[in-house]
Every structure is written in structure tokens, then in C-alpha cells.
């Protein structure tokens, strides 16, 4: 999802990250964590979460800034720090998510009076010392301009903040630090009746508040429990707006009448700690403050920063270790690009198992599928290789959400239903997991019922789940522009991209039906519907750019209920759309294509590239059109619909051109720098694009298909966490300057292999793929028999 970044186009990028000079890794063993740079995407609209978290952790601690692009909390764009909060999402567009319950420290209050400290976010925000910024797996830290050093690490539901205060203030008096906790979130969405209490003796703060989700419906209530350690407590109390008192220990605060949440919270003041740090342990829970307290006590019982940090470091190392590469000839920045992308695939979704107040269940519960429209394409397929047991739990969670909420989610955050962007793309996720053999507790019968419901039953509110326009879909075989739909309600736009996505969703259902057995009628029915994309193809449609004919004929077009054509310029909502008034996202006045153009959606027929190639006039014309899309910047690699287009040359028998495109986009648009992402990371969608591309296998998601290109390393090995077998891809004649990116021939487990794709057994059975590279395109992988599966028949190819 890319709601804002195109408009904002943040250009400022502060190089504030002191990368420790990576020691020169040998090609045999190295510590993967040295190649994780969490700050990639912290400016220029990447919106990543750069702070401390466990893989899929619920507690995510970081410094929050007042940037207009603070969706992930912290940014390196010169913005000021407003506080240190414990809940975040990563890479999202839309409004900032979470950022709840910020702490803020003062070494002392002016005049030694609690009213001498500043409480409202707008007044207290402050700069930090650029050179002090440090982020590494399980850790984030910086020094505020006031001289207070703040370090943080996390357990699953608990953040641990370490504050080191200057021993004296500027007038030489011993410090008397004050730490406040603000009942706030990043987007100031707090509703009525936030509450907080502070225990006079221990300083423990507990409370909760109701907030709004950042891209969805409803609200959520989050609870917390904060404890302090390290210095004797001097006094404590609450604050409201800009005034505080140690005489009051409980606060219940309204949102306020003018729509802006009043600042309110609590504070604890300490006797001078000298050089001893003060620790703040913040547990969070969606269930209760008591649960927040008990998680915190169980997870970080003794406020041991080093021990908590060490567990986080070891957990990350273990998660990232199944994938190793040869470092021969490779510079550290290439490795950093690769491993940082992989790291980001495990920040979101978040494991909220045991924290779901919405229903009782023994199934896992994951949240922050933000959004599946973004994640189905490569992030979840990537995790299916590297962390299949977690994907299995995510799939179980999706199915359990269907069981209890009635529908599979398309987007979900903060326990709320998120907005649907196109199809019911959880169907693709389930098919992908099914075809790749995930089992372990997944109820595939219920999963199948869930996807069939998406295809057959229209929800009343299809902006949150399922699909709209199902009567038309079944009767006419497309989603009409200006559909007559009285059964369910949603944003009546995107008729073309919804038709294309629904077609693919139906293919996913057919694939599951096929595998589950005994469902032959369903297989046929959904395969039939998966051909519906053809109903919007207008074979005589032309496309002009700035008055000049592009020369291409035949594009998808909107169609009315009465089966006559409407019109949308094929370049509308493309990266080179010259119309400043184009509306391309979820607005009511949006286009018939979501966040991209007809030009790009023209290629979104992932299940039937053969028929699409014929439709476009054969393989040469298809390649020509795909080149035009890329060469003229019609596509925008910073948004997910672009991903597959980089590799679709494989289907036209030109795998060499996929490799070439991949090497153009990386590094041109993906760099291991703070501003190194071309758009919102969308959880780790961009990260997974980088990881798959550099690994040399790119998935066609929803199918058991990986398209083969040469890895960016001499070799890549991936150990399957399920079977413990190690799959290896090795380049012979590897050239680190990437002139030799053309596969001349290949062997699989020693036997010549000419298919330009491979299936998931490569990973689970630990096969070895050896690619011999050369400097020119070859005939490898170009015959019809070598092409990836497609529903229709490949025609018009050489042999």
C-alpha cells in the first residue's frame, strides 16, 4: 500500500548512522547480524520500524519523531523526538500506527518543581545527537540534546528502557530525574477516558486507553504496566495538559472537546541516581493491565538489560542463520542490503497469541497483516522458505480469524479489520502455503470453506473483507464500472484491478480444490472464473503518451453493466501519469485500477501468462511491451504490483532479460542507506523483493513456482528449518561486477536442468542447482518445455 509516499517524496536524508566497519567476513562463517542495518528506509518514505523488537514481537521500542513520515516511529529526516513508545508497525502507509504510551525523560525540572518540566508532546519534543544513534537487532539507542542517553531492548510483550542521566544540570545541582508516561499514540487518535494510576510507593504505572487503527475500522484498547528501577523514588503523580501534581495518583481523561487529545499521563521523580541508570520496564497487553504486569514480570524479572538484549540478539541470529552466502568478491554493503531485507520480513506481522480479547481460542493469533495485498506477493512466500513454522502459525491465525470474525482478513492491524485494496488475497496466501506443503495443525478443510466463501458470498461491508459485486462477477464475468450492487457496500472503484485480482483469487481456489481432492466440479468452476480477466480486454484499445501513440494496441478497459465499454487512459495512475488530478488510491473518486495503471495491470494474469502472451501478439510482442513498461518508467518499483513484472520475461522464454531487469532495480532503487527504499516497505514487502531477487529465485505467489535467475553471490545456501536439508544455488563463472548474468546451462543435483523455474521441493529436499554463467544471452530455459506452468497453451514459440 502506498497512500502517501508518492505525494510526499521525502528527499531529506540524514546520514546519522555510524556503521561499525564490518569485519571482513570469510566466505565460510560470519555473523549475519553485522549485516543488518535497521535504518534502511528510515527516511524517504520507507516508513520502516528501526527499533528494538524480537522477530514478530509485540513490544517494539523506539524513539518517536514528529516527522510527517513517522509511520514506523523513528525517522532520520531531521525531525525531533517526542518520546519513546512500545508499540509499532513497520513500513506502512496510511496514518501512523500505534506508538502508544510514550515515555519522556528529564534530568531535572526547572526550579526543582514538577511544573518546571514540559509535558505536552509539542512542547517537550527535542533534537538528538546524530552521532549517538545506534540500532541493531534487539537494540535501539540515542542521546537526547539534553544529554540523557536512552537505550532500549525488548522481550515479546515488554520493552526495557535504560536512561542515563547527566549527574548534574547546567547550574551544577545534582539531577533529580523525572520520567513521564503520556497516554498518547503516534497519530493522536486516543478516544475518551484514557486512564492511568501511579502507585505512591512503588511508582508502578498502570492504565489503558482506546485508540483508532491506522487503516481500518473500529477501535482497540491497549493496556500497560510500567515499573521503574535504579534510583529511589522521590515522588510521583499525574499530569494533565501542562501541569502536574504529586498529590494526585489517578487520572481519567477525555479526548477533549476540540478533537485533539489533551495531553495527560503520569510521572515518577527520582532521587539523584548519580551514574546509575534508571530502568523503565513497560509491559503491554490487549487484555488487561494485570496481564501487562504479569508478562513484564515473567519476561524481564530483574530489569537485566544485557540479558534481555542477549536473548533478542540470539533469537535474531537463529532466525537469520538458515541462509548463508559466499562472500567471495562481494562487498559488505551488498550483504547489508540482502540481510537487512531479510530482517525486515520478520518485524511484521506480529505474534499477539494470548493477547486477543476478541475471541477465545487455542489457535495462534497474528496481527499486523498490513496488508495482505502487499504481503502475498513475496514477503509471506519468503517466510515460507526461511521460517515455515511461523507461516504455518500465521495461516492458522488467518483461518481462526475466519472462524470467529466470519471472514478471512485482507488487511488487519491493532485487532481491527483493515481496508481491502483489491481482491480477497488471503486466498492466494492459503493456496501458496497449501501447495508448498505446510501442514502442522492447519485445518485445510476449513481453509477451503473460507476461500469459497470469499468467492461465493458477498459481505455487507466488502471494504473490510471478501469481495464486492459478486452478482455481476458470476453473471457477467467481470466487475462492471458503476456496478449495480445492493447486497454489499464498499468503494465502487477499481473495477479493472478487482476483476484481475478476483480472477487470480479464483485460480488460487481451484488450485486448492484440485489438491484437496473430490472437488472436481469446483476445480472446473473456479478455473472457468479465473479466465474472467479476458472479459475486460479491449483488443483495439490504443495508448497515447503526451499526444504520441505508443504503438501498443489492446488493453484492459472498464466495462459497464450493459456490456459496453467505458474508458480509462492506460497510463492513468502510472508512474508517468501527467494528469495531476488522477486519484489512484482508495478514495471514492479513485480510478478503475488501484495504485497503478492499466499498462502495469496488463501483466497481472499470474496463472495464465501463455494466454496473455498470445493475447499480446506472441512472445516477441509480449517482451517488447514488457520492455516498454520498464524502459519508460511506467512501472514504479516502489509499489508491489511491479514486483512480478521484473521477472515475467521468463514466461516469454527470455529469462536473461529478467536477470538484467533485476540487476537494474537493485541497486538503482534499493540501497543499504537510510533513504535506500523506493517506497513504503509495507511490513517487509520491499525487503523480501530484495532478498528473493538477490537469492536468484522469485516466486509466482499462489503457485509452486520460483523463477530462476543467477544469485548475486557465488553461492547461496538455505537450510530448511523443517527438514534440516540444505538447498544450494551455485554460480559457475560468477562475476561480482554482474556482467555474467546470463545462464548458459544448469544442473540440478548433477543432472542437466533446462527449465527456467523450480518448485518448493528444491528447498525442502535440499537440492543443488548449479548455474553456469556467461556474458551473453543463451538458449537455456527458452524452449516451451522449459517455461513455467500456465493455464493456457504456449503458442508462437520457436520450438
Q: Where are the alpha helices (DSSP H) in 517-644?
A: 520-530, 598-601, 609-615, 619-631
Closer CB to ligand NAG, residue 411 or residue 691? Answer: 691
Distance CA 48, CA 73 (A): 8
CB–CB of 76/39 below 8 Å? yes
Closer CB to ligand NAG, residue 352 or residue 552? Answer: 552
Closer CB to ligand NAG, residue 359 or residue 563? Answer: 563
CB–CB of 503/532 below 8 Å? yes
Distance CA 286, CA 300 (A): 19
Q: How far is the CB of 773 from ligand NAG (least distance, A)?
A: 9
Q: How far is the CB of 400 from ligand NAG (least distance, A)?
A: 26
Closer CB to ligand NAG, residue 234 or residue 404? Answer: 234
Give residues with Cβ within 8 angstroms of 171, minimum separation 6: none
Give the angle subtended at the CA of 31 by the CAs of 30 and 37, to the nearest 5°.
Answer: 120
Q: Mapping DSSP to helix (H, G, I), strand (E, B) and coil, where does residue 767 land?
A: coil
Distance CA 321, CA 334 (A): 17
Helix, strand, coil percent content, the chain, rounded in steps of 5: 30, 20, 50
Q: How far is the CB of 638 from ligand NAG (least distance, A)?
A: 11
CB–CB of 534/525 below 8 Å? no
Whose cell is 540482502? That residue is 338
What residues make contact with ligand NAG under the rule CB under 6 A?
22, 24-25, 27, 78-80, 108, 110-112, 126-127, 169-171, 173, 176, 192-193, 306, 309-310, 313, 326-328, 330-332, 335, 521, 524-525, 528, 560, 562, 564, 632-633, 714-715, 723-724, 744-745, 747, 752, 772
Q: How far is the CB of 603 from ligand NAG (least distance, A)?
A: 18
Closer CB to ligand NAG, residue 127 or residue 389? Answer: 127
Q: How far is the CB of 630 from ligand NAG (least distance, A)?
A: 9
Q: How far is the CB of 712 from ligand NAG (least distance, A)?
A: 13
Closer CB to ligand NAG, residue 112 or residue 765? Answer: 112
Closer CB to ligand NAG, residue 170 or residue 217? Answer: 170
Question: β-strands 768-774, 726-732: how paired?
Answer: parallel
233 φ/ψ angles, rounded to the nearest 5 degrees:
-80, 130
Is the bond leading into 371 cis (omega within 30 degrees of zero)? Answer: yes
Closest CA to 301 of 160, 150, 153: 160
Closer CB to ligand NAG, residue 371 or residue 386? Answer: 386
Distance CA 220, CA 287 (A): 11
Q: How far is the CB of 597 from ligand NAG (least distance, A)?
A: 15
CB–CB of 398/392 below 8 Å? no
Closer CB to ligand NAG, residue 208 or residue 378? Answer: 208
Closer CB to ligand NAG, residue 171 or residue 360? Answer: 171
Distance CA 282, CA 228 (A): 9
Q: How far is the CB of 330 from ligand NAG (least distance, A)?
A: 6
CB–CB of 741/772 below 8 Å? no
Q: How far is the CB of 81 from ligand NAG (least distance, A)?
A: 9
Q: At 224, which helix (H) or strand (E)?
A: strand 220-229
Q: How far is the CB of 79 from ligand NAG (least distance, A)?
A: 5
Amino acid at each position: 500500500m502506498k497512500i502517501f509516499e508518492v505525494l510526499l517524496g521525502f528527499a531529506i536524508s540524514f546520514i546519522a548512522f555510524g556503521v561499525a566497519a564490518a569485519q571482513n567476513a570469510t566466505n565460510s562463517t560470519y555473523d549475519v547480524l553485522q549485516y543488518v542495518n535497521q535504518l534502511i528506509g528510515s527516511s524517504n518514505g520507507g516508513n520502516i520500524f528501526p527499533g528494538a523488537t524480537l522477530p514478530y514481537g509485540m513490544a517494539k521500542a523506539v524513539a518517536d519523531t514528529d516527522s510527517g513520515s513517522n509511520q514506523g516511529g523513528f525517522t532520520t529526516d531531521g525531525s525531533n523526538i517526542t518520546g519513546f513508545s512500545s508499540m509499532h508497525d513497520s513500513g506502512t502507509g496510511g496514518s501512523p500506527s500505534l506508538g502508544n504510551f510514550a515515555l519522556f525523560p528529564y534530568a531535572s525540572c526547572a526550579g526543582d518543581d514538577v511544573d518546571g518540566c514540559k509535558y505536552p508532546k509539542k512542547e517537550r519534543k527535542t533534537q538528538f545527537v546524530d552521532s549517538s544513534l545506534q540500532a541493531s537487532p534487539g537494540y535501539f539507542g540515542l542521546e537526547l540534546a539534553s544529554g540523557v542517553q536512552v537505550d532500549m531492548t525488548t522481550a515479546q510483550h515488554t520493552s526495557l528502557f535504560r536512561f542515563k542521566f547527566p549527574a548534574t544540570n547546567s547550574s551544577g545541582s545534582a539531577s533529580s530525574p523525572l520520567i513521564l508516561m503520556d497516554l498518547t499514540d503516534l497519530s493522536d487518535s486516543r478516544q475518551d477516558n484514557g486512564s492511568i494510576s501511579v502507585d505512591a510507593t512503588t511508582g508502578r504505572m498502570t492504565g489503558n486507553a482506546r485508540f483508532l487503527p491506522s487503516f481500518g475500522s473500529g477501535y482497540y484498547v491497549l493496556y500497560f504496566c510500567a515499573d521503574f528501577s535504579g534510583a529511589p523514588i522521590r515522588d510521583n503523580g499525574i499530569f494533565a495538559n501542562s501541569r502536574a501534581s504529586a498529590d494526585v495518583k489517578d487520572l481519567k481523561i477525555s479526548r477533549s472537546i476540540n478533537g485533539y487529545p489533551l495531553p495527560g499521563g503520569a510521572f515518577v521523580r527520582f532521587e539523584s541516581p548519580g551514574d546509575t541508570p534508571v530502568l523503565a520496564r513497560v509491559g503491554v497487553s490487549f487484555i488487561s493491565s494485570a496481564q501487562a504486569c504479569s508478562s513484564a514480570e515473567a519476561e524481564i524479572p530483574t530489569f537485566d538489560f544485557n540479558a534481555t538484549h542477549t536473548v533478542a540478539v540470539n533469537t535474531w541470529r537463529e532466525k537469520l542463520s538458515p541462509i548463508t552466502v559466499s562472500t567471495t568478491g562481494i562487498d559488505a554493503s551488498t550483504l547489508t542490503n540482502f540481510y537487512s531485507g531479510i530482517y525486515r520480513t520478520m518485524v511484521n506481522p506480529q505474534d499477539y497469541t494470548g493477547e486477543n480479547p476478541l475471541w477465545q481460542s487455542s489457535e495462534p493469533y497474528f496481527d499486523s497483516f498490513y496488508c495482505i495485498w502487499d504481503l502475498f506477493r513475496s514477503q509471506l512466500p519468503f517466510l515460507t522458505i526461511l521460517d515455515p513454522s511461523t507461516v504455518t502459525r500465521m495461516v492458522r491465525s488467518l483461518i481462526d480469524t475466519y472462524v470467529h470474525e466470519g471472514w478471512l482478513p485482507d488487511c488487519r492491524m491493532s485487532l481491527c479489520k483493515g481496508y481491502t485494496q483489491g481482491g480477497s488475497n488471503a486466498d492466494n496466501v492459503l493456496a501458496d502455503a497449501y501447495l508448498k506443503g505446510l501442514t502442522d495443525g492447519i485445518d485445510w478443510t476449513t481453509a477451503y470453506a473460507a476461500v469459497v466463501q470469499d468467492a461465493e458470498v458477498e459481505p455487507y461491508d466488502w471494504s473490510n473483507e471478501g469481495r464486492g459485486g459478486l452478482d455481476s462477477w458470476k453473471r457477467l464475468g467481470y466487475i462492471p464500472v458503476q456496478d449495480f450492487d445492493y447486497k454489499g457496500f464498499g468503494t465502487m472503484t477499481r473495477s479493472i484491478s478487482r476483476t484481475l485480482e478476483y480472477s487470480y483469487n479464483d485460480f488460487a481456489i481451484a488450485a486448492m480444490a484440485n489438491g484437496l481432492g473430490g472437488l472436481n466440479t469446483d476445480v472446473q468452476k473456479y478455473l472457468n472464473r479465473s479466465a474472467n480477466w479476458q472479459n475486460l480486454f479491449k483488443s483495439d484499445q490504443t495508448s497515447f503518451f503526451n499526444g504520441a501513440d505508443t504503438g501498443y494496441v489492446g488493453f484492459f478497459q472498464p466495462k459497464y453493466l450493459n456490456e459496453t465499454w467505458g474508458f480509462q487512459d492506460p497510463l492513468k495512475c502510472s508512474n508517468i501519469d501527467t494528469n495531476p488530478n488522477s486519484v489512484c488510491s482508495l478514495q471514492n473518486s479513485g480510478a478503475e485500477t488501484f495504485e497503478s495503471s492499466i499498462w502495469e495491470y496488463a501483466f497481472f494474469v499470474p496463472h495464465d501468462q501463455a494466454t496473455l502472451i498470445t493475447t499480446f501478439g506472441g512472445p516477441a510482442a509480449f517482451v517488447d511491451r514488457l520492455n516498454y513498461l520498464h524502459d519508460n518508467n511506467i512501472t514504479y518499483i516502489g509499489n508491489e504490483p511491479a514486483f512480478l513484472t521484473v521477472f515475467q520475461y521468463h514466461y516469454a522464454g527470455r529469462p536473461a532479460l529478467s536477470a538484467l531487469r533485476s540487476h537494474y532495480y537493485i541497486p538503482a532503487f534499493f540501497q543499504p542507506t537510510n533513504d535506500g527504499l523506493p517506497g513504503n516497505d509495507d511490513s517487509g514487502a520491499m525487503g523480501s523483493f530484495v532478498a528473493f531477487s538477490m537469492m536468484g529465485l522469485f516466486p509466482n505467489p499462489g503457485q509452486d513456482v520460483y523463477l530462476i535467475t543467477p544469485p548475486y553471490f557465488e553461492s547461496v545456501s538455505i537450510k530448511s528449518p523443517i527438514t534440516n536439508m540444505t538447498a544450494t544455488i551455485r554460480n559457475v563463472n560468477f562475476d561480482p561486477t554482474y556482467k555474467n548474468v546470463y545462464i548458459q546451462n544448469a544442473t540440478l543435483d548433477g543432472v542437466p536442468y533446462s527449465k527456467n523455474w523450480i518448485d518448493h521441493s528444491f528447498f525442502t529436499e535440499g537440492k543443488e542447482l548449479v548455474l553456469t554463467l556467461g556474458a551473453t544471452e543463451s538458449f537455456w530455459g527458452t524452449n516451451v518445455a522449459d517455461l513455467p506452468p500456465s493455464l493456457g497453451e504456449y503458442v508462437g514459440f520457436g520450438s
